[in-house]
Amino acid sequence: MGLDIVQFLENKTILVTGATGFLAKIFVEKILRIQPNVKKMFLLIRAADEQSAACRLHEELIEKKLFDVLRQKCAPNLGSIPEKLHALPGDISSENLGLNDSYLRSEMWREIDIIVHSAATTTFDDRYDTALAINTYGAKHVAEFATRCVNIKMLLHVSTAYVCGKKSGVIPEKAFSMGETMSGSRKLDVNEEKLLSEGLISELREENASEEEITIALKKLGLQRARLHGWPNTYTLTKAMGEMMMRHHLNWNVSLAVVRPTIITSTLKEPFPGWLEGFPFRGIDNIAINYGRGKINSYIGDPDTIFDVIPVDMVVNAMIVAMAVHANQPSYMVYHVGSSMCNPLRFSDFRDFSLKYFTDNPLTDEDGKLVKVGKLILVDSMESFQKHLTQYYTLRSKEHNNSKSLHANLKRNINIAMRVAELHRPYTLFKGIFDETNTKALRATAIENGVDLESVFRFDPRYIDWEDYFQRILLPGISSAFKLKRAML
């Protein structure tokens, strides 16, 4: 059988959650660019009302540079495309996704062909109650909503490869069973976790604790529960429970593809190379920019750690191919979308590429002086990191004639760097490699069915030349986003 993905998308109605986020925005753009005759895209957006949701749709999607290629294609404006986009004020942490209009809900249950669930809180150490409500119960609400859609062809759930917890070796694309933990100790009861966080809130309120104290306690609770059950942080624990809830609450007749990307980075190719969300910088972008700005000279990490990064457009292509392959065939499959298995990038490569780039293209520091970067020192403990940072700041302060700004911010800068490094540590010292047997099989099925994986839906990481990507695309993209932001301040 042949599979024409562009034709498959024609006249389809797709519900997308998390459309104002980094990943889903690029997904929406690509769908509209390859198939302007998609019937409708319902975009669930957190907003007080329809008008504010529409406003966010324009400001955070349509008016972004990301949509320039599409704009040119449909010159002079976006033609009929905005009419295809329906911004819905909603919230996945509520039943029915917070959609209060029963008439609209019935229309959606009748019309929706595909659901792409990308919304999440991606903060590693968010409040436990918040992360549970969005990442865990949000998945449940999406599954229940999907179950009511009478014409649904498939549901695509975006998870993360790091739901694997603190594993090493080759990590399989294995689905969770309900209540499974990574520590193998006791059973994980999702409802009990929720009751625990609610109990802590009531207790603290009775003690007249301030909102700030409650937030601190709930952040701590999330990290404690994650570590108890064998996950590195609140984000990965609640995303893992989200996968469990998604499968448990979804009608078994609905096809489910769980896409687990690794660390998502700027576009490699589409709609143009180097698009990234920018501020606030996250993950590898955050490490690179702080190194380039001279905020850090060392970091916690092993030079041999494989940094599993994957350009966002490849993730989007994998999602679209999985959508088309899974539609209409009841199945449940997990896909790793990363690079560690077949095109590994080591932390030492990242360090070398960054050294070369920021030596050739230096940024300026707070005092407007060009930053001369040295080779990033990789250390294996937080104590050692703190020692290196303290020496570095003391030295820089002297070099800058005891610059007041550097001196005043010394403690603050060290504290921030330590806090971020503590959260990054499970990733920068990670010892696993993500198996991609299912993802390879997905590519093979697509090729057998005539899908153009070369120029339209490429998601084979073997095609990435890391040095070229870092020097010509990722690092310049991060630098310009930083300069732009600085110019606006």
Ligand X SMILES: NC(=O)c1ccc[n+]([C@@H]2O[C@H](COP(=O)([O-])OP(=O)(O)OC[C@H]3O[C@@H](n4cnc5c(N)ncnc54)[C@H](OP(=O)(O)O)[C@@H]3O)[C@@H](O)[C@H]2O)c1
Q: Which residues are catalytic?
A: 235, 239
| 479 binds ligand X, rule: CB under 6 A | no
Q: Which of 91, 129, 365, 435 binds ligand X (CB under 6 A)?
A: 91
Nearer to ligand X, 163 or 327 (CB): 163
| 146 binds ligand X, rule: CB under 6 A | no
CB 231 within 8 A of CB 161: no
Tell me which amino acid residue 21 is.
G
Residue 43 has φ and ψ, to the nearest 5°, of -110, 110
Nearer to ligand X, 222 or 283 (CB): 283
CA neighbor of 351 nearest in space, from 414, 293, 308, 287: 287
- Minimum distance, C-beta of residue 120 to ligand X, in the bound complex (Å): 3
| 345 binds ligand X, rule: CB under 6 A | no
Q: Which of 32, 134, 188, 420 binds ligand X (CB under 6 A)?
A: 134
CB 167 within 8 A of CB 274: no
How far apart, in whole angstroms, are the C-alpha atoms of residue 121 and residue 412?
Answer: 26
- Minimum distance, C-beta of residue 56 to ligand X, in the bound complex (Å): 7
| 23 binds ligand X, rule: CB under 6 A | yes
The answer to whether the bond into 271 is cis (omega within 30° of 0) is yes
Tell me which amino acid residue 338 is.
G
Nearer to ligand X, 434 or 457 (CB): 434
Q: Which of residues 42-61 bind ligand X (CB under 6 A)?
A: 44, 46
CA neighbor of 283 nearest in space, from 411, 424, 177: 424
Nearer to ligand X, 20 or 439 (CB): 20
- Minimum distance, C-beta of residue 175 to ligand X, in the bound complex (Å): 16
CA neighbor of 245 nearest in space, from 112, 150, 117: 117
Q: Which of residues 425-454 bind ligand X (CB under 6 A)?
A: none
Angle at 190 between CA 128 and CA 424, to 5 degrees: 40
| 234 binds ligand X, rule: CB under 6 A | no
The residue length of the chain stands at 489
How far apart, in whole angstroms, are the C-alpha atoms of residue 440 and residue 446?
Answer: 10
Q: Which of 13, 16, 22, 88 binds ligand X (CB under 6 A)?
A: 22
Q: Which of 261, 271, 274, 477 binds ligand X (CB under 6 A)?
A: 261
| 130 binds ligand X, rule: CB under 6 A | no
Candidate segments 2-10, 22-30, 287-295, 298-306, binder of ligand X by CB under 6 A? 22-30
Candidate segments 90-98, 342-350, 370-378, 443-451, binder of ligand X by CB under 6 A? 90-98
| 459 binds ligand X, rule: CB under 6 A | no
Q: Which of 13, 17, 236, 298 binds ligand X (CB under 6 A)?
A: 17
| 263 binds ligand X, rule: CB under 6 A | yes
- Minimum distance, C-beta of residue 168 to ligand X, in the bound complex (Å): 19
| 473 binds ligand X, rule: CB under 6 A | no
Which residue number is nearest to ligand X in terms of Cβ? 21
What is each CA distance from 73 to 122, 271, 292, 320, in whole angstroms?
33, 11, 36, 21
Site string for ligand X, 99-118 (x = CB under 6 A): -------------------x
Work out the burial of residue 52: count CB atoms within 10 Å of its CB; fewer than 13 is exposed, 13-18 middle, 19 or more buried: middle
How far apart, in whole angstroms, are the C-alpha atoms of residue 57 and residue 155?
Answer: 23
Q: Which of 14, 27, 113, 121 binds ligand X (CB under 6 A)?
A: 121
Those residues with Cβ within 8 angstroms of residue 76's Cβ, 6 or more apart along the chain or in another chain: none
CB 70 within 8 A of CB 32: yes
DSSP count for the chain of H helices, then E strands:
19, 13
| 292 binds ligand X, rule: CB under 6 A | no
How far apart, in whole angstroms, are the C-alpha atoms of residue 66 and residue 343?
Answer: 27
- Minimum distance, C-beta of residue 231 to ligand X, in the bound complex (Å): 14
Nearer to ligand X, 326 or 336 (CB): 336
How far apart, in whole angstroms, are the C-alpha atoms of residue 396 and residue 411?
Answer: 13
Nearer to ligand X, 64 or 388 (CB): 64
Those residues with Cβ within 8 angstroms of residue 246's Cβ, 6 or more apart along the chain or in another chain: 117, 139, 140, 142, 143, 155, 157, 256, 258
Question: Looking at residue 62, what DSSP letter applies?
Answer: I
Nearer to ligand X, 246 or 451 (CB): 246
| 120 binds ligand X, rule: CB under 6 A | yes
Size of the site for ligand X (CB under 6 A): 26
Binding residues for ligand X, per CB under 6 A?
Answer: 17-18, 20-24, 44, 46, 91-93, 118-122, 134, 138, 158, 160, 239, 261, 263-264, 283
